[in-house]
Amino acid sequence: EVQLVESGGGLVQPGGSLRLSCVASGFTFSNYWMTWVRQAPGKGLEWVANIKQDGSDRYYVDSVEGRFTISRDNAKNSLFLQMNSLRAEDTAVYYCAKNRGSGSYVDYWGQGTLVTVSS
């Protein structure tokens, strides 16, 4: 059974940093692209970033480019999102997600971790 378990969310002040983690199990992690998707309270889904199997390709939505970094550790079946210079508008539930093919649709989702940016 595929499982994706996020951690690292919490309350942070504007301008601060946070590192999200996602531990994957139930599939060969190193064979798949992975993605972060976020959802602001009461709002829709927003694709944030994705990363190729070996980490050699990474893509970001414009609003986080230069502030967020997606990375992975295939030996530990783990996906990360380093978030710097956080803003109030980054407040959201962040979902770790497994892609089916080359950066394609998401076939499995984690339960999400809440990030709140507020003073």
Please report, as residue ranges, which positions from 60 to 99 form the binding site for another protein (by CB under 8 A): 60-62, 95
* Structure tokens given for 83: 């978030």
Binding mask 3-42 for another protein (x = CB under 8 A): --------------------------------x-x-----
* Between 5 and 15, CB nearer to another protein: 5
Work out whether the CA dihedral 84, 72, 103, 58 comes out positive or negative.
Answer: positive
**Is residue 72 a contact partner of residue 90, using CB atoms and an 8 Å limit?**
no
Q: Which two tokens stand for residue 4?
A: 């994706």
Partner residues linked to 78 by β-bridges: 23, 73
| Tokens coding 52 | 């190729």
- 62 three-state secondary structure: helix
Task: Report the nearest approach of another protein to the CB of residue 18 (Å).
Answer: 20
Q: Which of 27, 67, 71, 109 binds another protein (CB under 8 A)?
A: 109
Please, which residue, 15 or 47, has the CB nearer to another protein? 47
Which residues of this chain interact with another protein, rule CB under 8 A? 35, 37, 44-47, 50, 59-62, 95, 100, 103-112
